[in-house]
Structure 1
């Protein structure tokens, strides 16, 4: 009698092992992607803050960064009032005419940061 093939039991065991490995790798991948998205948001905010800082030094004007729970916006002190918060005359800088939406909200409440020359 020749044994050239595989049995149904062996096939089911191999498929079960492959299924378990796929599920485990899928869950690991989802965690990795979530961490990557948070890292991208933090790096983008950092770049925007550093650009506002450099722009404040270059233009010799104060810049304001207003951070809400779900978005942030950067203003330039166009009337040079030297205030600590943006007023109706201050204009958002290019790229911030609408607040940038945060995919992962900030939980510290509304904050205004001032970058002076």
Structure 2
């Protein structure tokens, strides 16, 4: 299928599809007139990419794990392991953000927020 038809079915722009092709997430053949020709299963793969992005996976992560997971059944252990790993990354980031928030809160009302926070007295 040509890129315009693929874009319409996948509900995304042709520029997005070209970008995904450039970074190796999708592949096309070429017709005799030079137009891109994508296999029909590319529509489902593009939906997979969008879903994975919505779940917080980067395009690099999708590319790295895509080949092994593309044909995996939904209940595959590989998917569960990948999701568990992503949860750990999110939890670590949440801890970092909580520490950052505490640091910022300690600096509120201290004048210049770029100066070291004053130690709090424990009376």
TM-score normalised per structure 2: 0.30
Q: Which has the higher contact order (CA 8 A, sep 6+)?
A: 1
Bigger strand fraction = 1
TM-score normalised per structure 1: 0.32
Bigger helix fraction = 2
